[in-house]
């Protein structure tokens, strides 16, 4: 089977982040021909057009990473009913300067994760709106709103909730089919 290179972007920088744990669980439950790489986004300076005159090293490296991937998986918390700045910035940096949208035409999936009941709905859909502009085909169903995240993992970061595990397995199955439809 053709190998697929998937860039994983996680919207939380916290070391013990539930989003990082969710991302790991998603990767662990995916078919073998998906090659995942979690792409670092915490070191990217806030986007400003002025900086294009002297592109920061971290921006250049990040743009190369994005260019090299076939598809993307976004795992994000919600900050104040929207996308965390660190993830929004990653979208922006790889979409500029004008005419150099590196997300263009690649498929993606979104999983939002929160410790509350709502599961990051606001972040999930704000991210979808940005991806429309970036010409990313974002998988509609299954939606994935992972709520009550503080009760889903053991001390080593493994999913202990069977229903959640099933959701993640089903998600990656649908995601794989979606990516294959849009890439191959």
Footprint on this chain of a second copy (rule: CB under 8 A):
12-15, 42, 46-50, 79-86, 88-89, 91-92, 95, 117-119, 121-122, 125-126, 128-138, 140-141, 143, 145, 147, 181-182
Cis peptide before 142 (omega within 30 of 0): yes
Whose Cβ is closer to a second copy: residue 80's or residue 155's?
Answer: 80
Whose Cβ is closer to a second copy: residue 136's or residue 179's?
Answer: 136
What is the four-CA torsion angle of 114, 42, 175, 102, rounded to 10 degrees? 140
- Nearest CA to 140 out of 122, 125, 155 is that of 125
The DSSP element (H or E) to which 36 belongs, if any, is strand 34-38
State in angstroms the smallest separation of the CB of 148 from a second copy.
8
To 5 degrees, how large is the angle CA 172–CA 175–CA 181?
145
Tokens 């890439």 found at: 183
State in angstroms the smallest separation of the CB of 37 from a second copy.
20
Whose Cβ is closer to a second copy: residue 31's or residue 140's?
Answer: 140
Whose Cβ is closer to a second copy: residue 137's or residue 169's?
Answer: 137
State in angstroms the smallest separation of the CB of 14 from a second copy.
5
Tokens representing 10 are 């996680």
State in angstroms the smallest separation of the CB of 35 from a second copy.
24
């Amino acid at each position: 089977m053709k190998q697929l290179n998937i860039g994983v972007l996680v919207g939380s920088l916290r070391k013990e982040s539930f989003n990082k744990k969710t991302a790991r669980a998603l990767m662990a439950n995916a078919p073998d021909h998906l090659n995942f790489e979690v792409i670092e986004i915490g070191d990217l300076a806030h986007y400003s057009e002025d900086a294009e005159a002297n592109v920061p090293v971290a921006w250049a490296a990040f743009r190369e990473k994005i260019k090299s991937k076939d598809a993307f998986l976004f795992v994000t918390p919600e900050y104040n009913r929207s996308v965390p700045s660190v993830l929004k910035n990653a979208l922006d940096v790889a979409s500029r300067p004008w005419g150099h949208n590196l997300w263009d035409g690649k498929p993606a999936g979104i999983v939002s994760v929160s410790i509350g009941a709502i599961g990051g709905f606001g972040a999930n859909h704000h991210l979808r709106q940005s991806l429309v502009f970036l010409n990313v085909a974002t998988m509609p169903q299954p939606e994935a709103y992972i709520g009550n995240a503080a009760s889903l993992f053991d001390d080593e970061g493994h999913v202990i909730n069977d229903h959640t595990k099933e959701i993640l397995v089903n998600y990656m199955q649908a995601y794989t089919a979606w990516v294959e439809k849009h890439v191959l």
